[in-house]
Amino acid sequence: MRFAIFGNTSRDKFCGHEQQFFNLLRSLGDGISVDRPYYEFLTRTMGLEIPCDTLFDGSDFTADAVISVGGDGTFLRTATRVADKGIPMVGINTGRLGFLADITTDRITDAITRIHNGQYTLEERNLLQINMEGLPQGHTPYALNDIAILKHDISSMIQVATSVGGTQMITYQADGLVVATPTGSTAYSLSVGGPIIAPGTNVICLTPVAPHSLTMRPLVLPANETIRLDVTSRSHSFLVSIDGKSFSCPEHTAIEISRAPFKISVMKPAKGDFFATLREKMLWGTDSRK
């Protein structure tokens, strides 16, 4: 197989298994292409001798599979660079939680060998797309987890007039609004009271952040709906966060959020159990009294 490798370039995410991982790929006879900043981090900063066939920059790569080495943040950033290429992804976790990048360092050899031998399944994940004027350079319009509309730290709550499918639905008075995919339902949305949604469920979830009224509850919509937002704020500006990467916008900037026209394929080298992952990673259902 031909692998394109992305990774976190922080010393804090260096796990010490990177040399073993690259040597394994070479011993299996797989093609190795590496994102240039990650290769330079491993060779120049960490002093490793990394076998590599080619280096690439940006999204200028082709491969049979993409491997993200880092935490969930690295996986999300990698997903935006894979975008509509249709290349399946897998994540090796060198971070803390590892909900998306779920291959732990002690399972690298087994997982990569299984992928090399074609012993894996694919899970398709929806992405969100934001359409708006003034999207800053360097920001992708696609989100695997969520798109959040938020107040500035020092401002009072914002008003988010929300229409769905062309029909005015509600004006949220809150600190913000999180629009999440099922993948993102266990991220920011969950932390502000949103529901857990199983992967593969074809929906979008709207979760208000610190709403002014108790009647403003999370709402689950069909994934084919288009959501239009008009934001007003006492500070005359607000934040847009796309998978955690944020920028400022003037109020009344027209925002449209919909399902992206493509999906991301996530490789699972072992039989996955979403609910077992919830119990293991997030202590879901755990009784602290025991």
Task: Give catalytic residue positions.
Answer: 72
Distance CA(191)–CA(172), nearest Å, equals 18
Structure token pair of residue 18: 């990177």
Task: Give residues with Cβ within 8 angstroms of 53, minimum separation 6.
Answer: 31, 32, 33
Give the HSE-up count for residue 33: Cα atoms under 13 Å, Cβ half-sphere. 17
HEC profile of the chain: CEEEEEECCCHHHCCCCHHHHHHHHHHCCCEEEEEHHHHHHHHHHCCCCCCCCEEECCCCCCCCEEEEEECHHHHHHHHHHHHHHCCCEEEEECCCCCCCCCECHHHHHHHHHHHHCCCCEEEEEEEEEEEECCCCCCCCCEECCEEEEECCCCCCCEEEEEEECCEEEEEEEECEEEEECCHHHHCHHHHCCCCCCCCCCCEEEEEEECCCCCCCCCEEEECCCCEEEEEECCCCEEEEEECCEEEEEECCCCEEEEEEEEEEEEEECCCCCHHHHHHHHHCCCCCCCC
